[in-house]
Every structure is written in structure tokens, then in C-alpha cells.
């Protein structure tokens, strides 16, 4: 090639001239001292925090690597705090709002505080993300992980995020809308129409715990209870996209020190500029799932050349869109997408994938005629869909595309009765729709879809639930 055969004369070809210019352009000697020091610190942190046994066959999953990247990268650490905390909070809220067997209900109903250890395992992940959570009435939540601590006070409309690696304290202020999703309130308002059936007992610590399988609509969970105290010792449930959420070490009304919920940064942490989220036009639970989905997909497509994610509720999506300032504080768009991710993840708990909602990967931004996400609204009975151009429309059941199989969790990490097998799609897939069977006499052409709205610009954040942080 010409650009490799430079003989002192500038090549005539514009491309070769450009290559020559770029290759011969003066370049600084190397990174500055600060960049070198930051990189060395990151290397030590990542290498030192490596608790994963070295595996010669390369079994460390993409998500694991992604999370490691997040933890190592100061600009993304805070964002992860929002996501991980959000997933767990929504999981618990969704679950407890439906648990209702009498033996446990009364104990929970009288609780004013609670703590537990939660772990979240995503498909492709060998090790779960673990965190410790503390709830205190009214509306206080503390989430601890190896990398960070997040304290959220819904009444004050304030959240404090402490990032251990970089020793940063980030204070987020938002408009409080009271306690529409207060955890303790959710506990007391447990529904009473769920079904329970006994499952195999399990040895948990020194206790032979009695097992129950709880089902309410699309929500399913397995609970193991201490037969003496009647309190749950472990809860396992399957979230959308086959995400396994496990809660252990559940304690009701533990003595929680008030300092656990202090919003004052501890000594040794550098207080970063305060982040103030813009005021919402609607409380969190008044935004539709579709609007949150659009927020996620729009941001993702904007950063990936018009592509959409393979999974909708994958926390590593945040890696693609996370942006922040030089101090490591995530920008507003990052917060909004993190909020939307947590919200979508939590709200889809109440829906069954494939029959009540689905996400269809593989489309590109602009595929206006193709459905990217759809949901059957349980209240109105209507079907809503997000199309490839990110327009939200009401659709008919006949327009719903075939179901997409679930991703698969690591072997052995899911209750056997709940494993959704990953099967190759048959050549001619049929939609799995238990609703609205199509009468043969119906016309083949669906009526024109009604455009509900195109939520641009990005909706305001969702400060009413801890998931938003």
C-alpha cells in the first residue's frame, strides 16, 4: 500500500495522504502523571479485588467482566449503585406486595423495620451481585455493597451515595412525593389472594426450614420459613429475563442505629457537587412502563449506532450510556436511564414474559413497522407497544410478535421448578398468547394503530421509589 511505502513524496490519493498525515502527526510522549497514577490505582484495585478463582477455560461471563469494569471505573461506580440498589428494592417491593399466607403475614404486618442480604444473579453471570439492605419506617433505605453504600430518605427527598474506591460522597436531591412506595407500607398492604403450596424443606443454617411456593398472577417465589418463629429465612424469586433474586438473613424489627440512615457524609469521603434532579411532572408510578422503556432504548441506541440491547433489563446497559463529569458524578441522562432501568425491572415482575409482555431484540432504531416491546395492560386490557422508531402505540393482540425465549441462568442457581429452558426457536414460531385468541373470521389486516405519544424529550426522573437512585 502506498501509505506503507513512503518515499518522501506525498501520495496523491486522498486516503493515503490522510493516513500519512495521521501516522506522522506529532504525538505527545505518553500519559501524564495523573493518568498514570489513576491507571495504576485502578489496576491495583481490580487485581486486588479479584476474588474470582482463576479459570483457565474462560468461564467468567460478560456481565461479570462488565461489572468489574464498572467497579474499577470511577465515573461509573456511582451509576452502578443506582442500578443495583434499584433492582433489589423493586424486587422486594414487588414480592412483598403479593405475599400473603397467614403464618408469615401477621409477623410481617407488625414490622416497622427490616434488614436482609439480597443477591441478584443475571443470566451469564457466575457470581451474584450481593448487597445488604436495611429498611426503616418511614421511607428510609440503606443499601450496602462491597463498592458502595446508598442511603435514601424518601421523606427528605435526599439520597447519599458513598463510593468506597474513590472515597466520594454524592448527594442527590429530588422532589419528594411522600411515600407511595414506602416499603413498610407495602408490607402492611400485602394482598391476600395469592396461592401457596408446600415445597421441599431446606436446611438453612441450623434450621430445617419449611418451604412454600407462592404464586400470585405472574409472580412466583419460593419461601423457606423457620417452623418455630414462623418468620421467613430465605426468599427466592425469578425476575424478568430470568434474573434470580435471593434474600437471606431476613430480620424483622431489628435494632437499627439511626446513624445507618444519616445523610451526612462520613469523614474521609470527599463531598462531590450536589446533584439535583429536575422536578417531575408525574410521580414514578404514573409513568407507563413503555415510557421508561423508551428512555432506556433511546439512550442505548444513541450510543451504539442505532442498535438496541439484547436484554431489556440488563444492568450492564448502563455501561453503554453512562456519562459523568470529571469528578465521577453521573450526569442527568445517566440518572434517568438508571431510574428507568430499575423501574422497568421492578414493574415487569407483575407480568409474565411471552404472554403478557415481551422484548424483541435484533431491531435497529428506525424500524418503524416492527414491535420492539409490548405489554398487555392488566387494568385497561389494552395492548401497548414500543416500535423500532420508539413510538408508543396501542396495538391489537394480532399484531403481537412471537414470544422470545428467556436467557438462562447459571446451572444450579435457580429453583428447579422455575427454570425456564432455553430452547432454540423453531423455524416457524407461533406467538404464545393465552389471551385474545384470534377468531378465524376476523379480518387479516389489523386496524390502524393509535399513536399515544412519542415521549420526547426524556421524561423526568422517578424520585418516589428508592429504585430511582
Partner 1 sequence: MIDWERILSHDGPAVWRTAWRVLGNRADADEVFQETFVAAVEYSRTHTVIHWRALLQRLATARAIDRLRQRVRRRNREMPLPEDHPETSFPLPLQAAENAELSATLRLAMAEIPSRQAEVFCLFHLDGWSYPEIAEHLAISTDVVGVWLHRARGRLRELLAEMNEVSS
Residue of 318, 332, 241 lying closest to 80 (CA atoms):
318
> What minimum distance in Å lies between the beta carbon of 3 and partner 1?
6
DSSP states of 78-147? HHHHHHHHHHHHHHHHHHHTT---HHHHHHHHT-SEEEEEEEEE-TT-SS-EEEEEEEETTTEEEEE-SS
Q: Exactly one of 6, 11, 42, 230 binds partner 1 (CB under 8 A); which one?
A: 42
Q: Which of the stretches 25-33, 240-248, 281-289, 407-415 binds partner 1 when contact is defined by CB under 8 A?
A: 25-33
- Asked if residues 322 and 330 have their Cβ atoms less than 8 Å apart, the reply is yes
Cβ 342 to partner 1, closest distance in Å? 24
As measured in angstroms, the least distance from the Cβ of 224 to partner 1 is 35
Is the link from the previous residue into 457 a cis peptide, with omega within 30 of 0? yes
Q: Of 43-51, 180-188, 261-269, 454-462, which part binds partner 1 (CB under 8 A)?
A: 43-51
Give the nearer residue to partner 1 in terms of CB position, either 126 or 251: 126
Instruction: Report the alpha-carbon distance of residue 401 to residue 396 in Å, rounded.
Output: 11
> Which residue intervals of 171-272 are DSSP H helices?
183-188
Identify the residue among 11, 17, 127, 405 touching partner 1 (CB under 8 A).
17
Give the C-alpha separation, 362 to 164, whole Å: 37
**x/- map, 45-84, partner 1, by CB under 8 A:** -xx--x-x-xxxxxxx----x--xx--xx-----------
DSSP 353: B
Establish if 390 lies at the interface with partner 1 (CB under 8 A). Answer: no
197 touches partner 1 by CB under 8 A:
no
Min separation Cβ 77 and partner 1, Å = 12
Pick 40 or 451: Cβ nearer partner 1: 40
Q: Which stretch binds partner 1 (CB under 8 A): 30-38, 307-315, 403-411, 446-454?
A: 30-38
Q: Which of 47, 423 has the CB closer to partner 1?
A: 47
Q: Which of 213, 231, 240, 205 is nearest to 120 (CA)?
A: 240
Determine which residue in the list 8, 26, 416, 448 makes contact with partner 1, applying CB under 8 A.
26
Residues 6+ apart with CB under 8 A from 332: 275, 277, 278, 461
Handedness of CA 281, 283, 284, 286 (dihedral sign): negative
Candidates 19-27, 120-128, 129-137, 337-345 — which segment interacts with partner 1 by CB under 8 A?
Answer: 19-27
Q: In residues, how long is the chain?
A: 469
CB nearer partner 1, residue 205 or residue 362? 362
CA–CA dist 154, 185 (Å, integer): 13
* CA dihedral (371, 245, 65, 58) positive or negative: negative
DSSP secondary structure code for residue 416 in this structure:
G
Choose between 322 and 360: whose C-beta lies nearer to partner 1: 322
CA proximity to 81, closest of 164, 154, 180: 164
**Per CB under 8 A, 458 contacts partner 1:** no
Host H or E run for residue 66: helix 62-72
Out of 5, 8, 12, 14, the only residue in the binding site for partner 1 (CB under 8 A) is 14
Scan residues 269-308 and list those touching partner 1 (CB under 8 A): 302-303, 305
Closer by beta carbon to partner 1, 22 or else 379: 22
4 binds partner 1 (CB under 8 A): yes
Nearest approach in angstroms of CB 433 to partner 1 is 38
Each residue 135-174 as x (binds partner 1 by CB under 8 A) or -, in order, gives ----------------------------------------
Give yes or no for residue 263 binding partner 1 (CB under 8 A): no
Q: Which residues contact 76 (CB under 8 A, 6 or more apart)?
A: 69, 70, 318, 319, 322, 324, 330
The CB-of-34 to partner 1 minimum distance in angstroms stands at 8
Alpha-helical regions (H) of 217-366: 289-303, 317-321, 332-347
Of 54 and 102, which has the nearer Cβ to partner 1?
54
Q: Give the single-character DSSP code of 229.
A: T
Cα atoms found within 13 Å of the Cα of residue 335, Cβ hemisphere only: 25
- Judged by CB under 8 A, the stretch of 7-15, 112-120, 136-144, 372-380 that binds partner 1 is 7-15
Binding mask 111-140 for partner 1 (x = CB under 8 A): ------------------------------
Give the residues lining the site for partner 1 (CB under 8 A): 1, 3-4, 13-15, 17-19, 21-32, 34-36, 38-40, 42-44, 46-47, 50, 52, 54-60, 65, 68-69, 72-73, 302-303, 305
Amino acid at each position: 500500500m502506498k501509505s506503507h511505502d513512503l518515499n518522501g513524496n506525498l501520495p496523491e490519493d486522498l486516503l493515503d495522504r490522510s493516513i500519512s498525515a495521521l501516522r506522522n502527526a506529532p504525538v505527545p510522549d505518553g500519559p501524564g502523571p495523573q493518568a498514570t497514577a489513576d491507571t495504576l490505582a485502578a489496576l491495583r484495585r481490580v487485581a486486588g479485588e479479584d476474588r474470582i478463582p482463576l479459570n483457565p477455560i474462560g468461564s467468567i461471563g460478560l456481565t461479570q467482566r462488565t461489572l468489574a469494569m464498572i467497579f474499577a471505573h470511577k465515573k461509573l461506580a456511582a451509576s452502578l449503585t443506582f442500578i443495583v440498589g434499584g433492582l433489589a428494592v423493586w424486587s422486594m417491593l414487588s414480592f412483598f406486595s403479593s405475599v400473603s399466607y397467614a403464618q408469615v403475614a401477621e409477623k410481617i404486618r407488625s414490622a416497622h423495620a427490616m434488614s436482609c442480604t439480597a443477591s441478584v444473579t443475571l443470566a451469564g453471570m457466575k457470581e451474584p451481585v450481593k448487597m445488604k439492605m436495611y429498611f426503616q419506617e418511614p421511607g428510609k433505605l440503606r443499601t450496602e455493597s462491597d463498592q458502595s453504600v446508598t442511603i435514601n430518605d424518601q421523606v427528605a427527598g435526599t439520597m447519599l451515595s458513598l463510593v468506597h474506591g474513590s472515597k466520594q460522597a454524592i448527594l442527590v436531591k429530588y422532589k419528594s412525593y411522600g411515600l407511595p412506595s414506602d416499603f413498610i407500607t407495602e408490607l402492611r398492604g400485602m394482598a391476600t389472594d395469592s396461592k401457596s403450596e408446600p415445597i421441599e424443606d431446606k436446611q438453612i443454617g441450623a434450621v430445617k426450614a419449611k418451604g412454600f411456593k407462592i404464586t400470585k398472577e405472574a409472580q412466583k417465589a419460593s419461601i423457606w420459613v423457620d417452623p418455630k418463629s414462623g418468620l421467613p429465612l430465605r426468599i427466592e424469586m425469578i425476575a424478568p429475563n430470568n434474573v434470580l433474586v435471593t434474600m437471606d438473613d431476613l430480620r424483622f424489627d431489628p435494632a437499627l442505629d439511626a446513624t445507618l440512615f444519616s445523610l451526612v457524609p462520613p469523614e474521609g469521603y470527599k463531598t462531590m457537587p450536589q446533584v439535583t434532579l429536575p422536578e417531575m411532572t408525574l410521580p414514578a408510578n404514573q409513568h407507563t412502563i413503555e415510557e421508561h422503556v423508551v428512555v432506556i432504548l433511546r439512550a442505548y441506541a444513541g450510543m451504539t449506532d442505532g442498535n438496541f440491547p439484547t436484554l431489556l433489563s440488563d444492568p450492564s446497559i448502563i455501561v453503554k450510556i453512562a456519562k459523568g463529569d470529571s469528578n465521577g458524578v453521573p450526569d442527568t441522562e445517566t440518572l434517568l436511564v438508571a431510574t428507568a432501568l430499575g423501574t422497568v425491572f421492578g414493574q415487569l415482575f407483575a407480568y409474565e414474559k411471552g404472554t403478557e409482555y415481551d422484548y424483541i431484540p435484533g431491531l435497529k432504531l428506525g424500524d418503524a413497522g416492527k414491535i420492539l416491546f409490548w405489554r398487555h395492560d392488566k387494568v385497561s386490557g389494552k395492548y401497548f407497544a414500543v416500535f423500532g422508531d420508539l413510538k408508543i402505540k396501542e396495538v391489537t393482540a394480532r399484531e403481537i410478535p412471537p414470544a422470545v425465549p428467556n436467557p438462562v441462568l447459571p446451572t444450579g442457581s435457580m429453583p428447579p421448578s422455575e427454570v425456564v429452558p432455553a430452547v432454540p426457536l423453531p423455524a416457524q414460531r407461533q406467538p404464545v398468547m393465552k389471551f385474545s385468541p384470534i377468531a378465524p373470521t376476523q379480518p387479516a389486516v389489523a386496524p390502524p394503530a393509535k399513536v399515544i405519544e412519542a415521549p420526547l424529550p426524556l421524561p423526568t426522573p422517578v424520585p418516589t421509589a428508592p429504585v430511582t437512585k
